[in-house]
Amino acid sequence: MTTTRPALPPSVQSMLRTAEKKLEGRPKLLQMYKNCFPNTLETTTRLLDDGTAFVFTGDIPAMWLRDSSAQVKQYLPFAKEDAELQRILEGLILRQMKYICIDPYANAFNESANGKRWDDDNTELNPWVWERKYELDSLCYPLQLGYLYWKATGRTAVFGETFEAAARAILRLLETEQHHTEKSNYRFTRPQGPKSDTLRNGGKGMPVGYTGMTWSGFRPSDDACTFGYLIPSNMFAAVALGYLEEIARDVLKDDYLAAWASRLEEEIRYGIETYGVYRHPEFGDIYAYETDGFGHYNLMDDANVPSLLSIPYLGYAGRDNPVYRNTRKFILSEHNPYFFKGTAAQGIGSPHTPRGYIWHISLTMQALTSDDAEEIASIVELLERTDAGTGFMHEGFHADDPSRFTRPWFAWANSLFSELVTKLILEDITGGVSA
Per-residue pLDDT of the chain (435 residues; tens, 9 = 90+): 777 888 999 999 999 999 999 999 999 999 999 999 999 999 999 999 999 999 999 889 999 999 999 999 999 999 999 999 999 999 999 999 999 999 999 999 999 999 999 999 999 999 999 999 999 999 999 999 999 999 999 999 999 999 999 999 999 999 999 999 999 999 999 999 899 999 999 999 999 999 999 999 999 999 999 999 999 999 999 999 999 999 999 999 999 999 999 999 999 999 999 999 999 999 999 999 999 999 999 999 999 999 999 999 999 999 999 999 999 999 999 999 999 999 999 999 999 999 999 999 999 999 999 999 999 999 999 999 999 999 999 999 999 999 999 999 899 999 999 999 999 999 986 556 765
pLDDT per position as a tens digit, 328-368: 999 999 999 999 999 999 999 999 999 999 999 999 999 99
Residues 385 and 49: their CA atoms lie apart, in Å, by 42
Tell me if residue 20 falls in helix, strand or coil. helix
- Per-residue pLDDT at 435: 55
Contact 166, 135 (CB under 8 A): no
**Residues paired with residue 398 on neighbouring β-strands, in sequence order:** 357
pLDDT per position as a tens digit, 31-81: 999 999 999 999 999 999 999 999 999 889 999 999 999 999 999 999 999
CA 120 to mean position of chain CA atoms: 25
Ranges in the chain annotated CATH 1.50.10.10:
48-336
- Per-residue pLDDT at 382: 98
Phi, psi at 286, each rounded to 5°: -130, 160
Burial class (CB in 10 A: 0-12, 13-18, 19+), 24: exposed
- Per-residue pLDDT at 171: 98
What totals of helices (H) and strands (E) does the chain contain, helices first? 17, 15
Contact 271, 211 (CB under 8 A): yes
Assigned CATH for 48-336: 1.50.10.10
Question: Residue 137's closest CA among 211, 54, 55, 70?
Answer: 70
Measured at the CA of 322, the angle between CA 316 and CA 323, to 5 degrees, comes to 65
Question: Residue 290's closest CA among 225, 214, 355, 349?
Answer: 225
Phi, psi at 400, each rounded to 5°: -100, -20
Residues 369 and 305: their CA atoms lie apart, in Å, by 12
231-247 and 255-275 helices cross at what angle (nearest 10)?
A: 160
- Per-residue pLDDT at 85: 98
Residues 418 and 367: their CA atoms lie apart, in Å, by 12
Helical residues (DSSP H) of 193-230, grouped into ranges: 200-203
Going from the C-alpha of 196 to that of each of 133, 203, 351, the distances in angstroms are 11, 12, 9
- Per-residue pLDDT at 391: 97
Kindly give, in sequence order, each residue whose CB lies less than 8 Å from that of residue 250, ignoring residues fewer than 6 positions away. none
DSSP structural state of residue 294 = S
Residues 201 and 388: their CA atoms lie apart, in Å, by 42
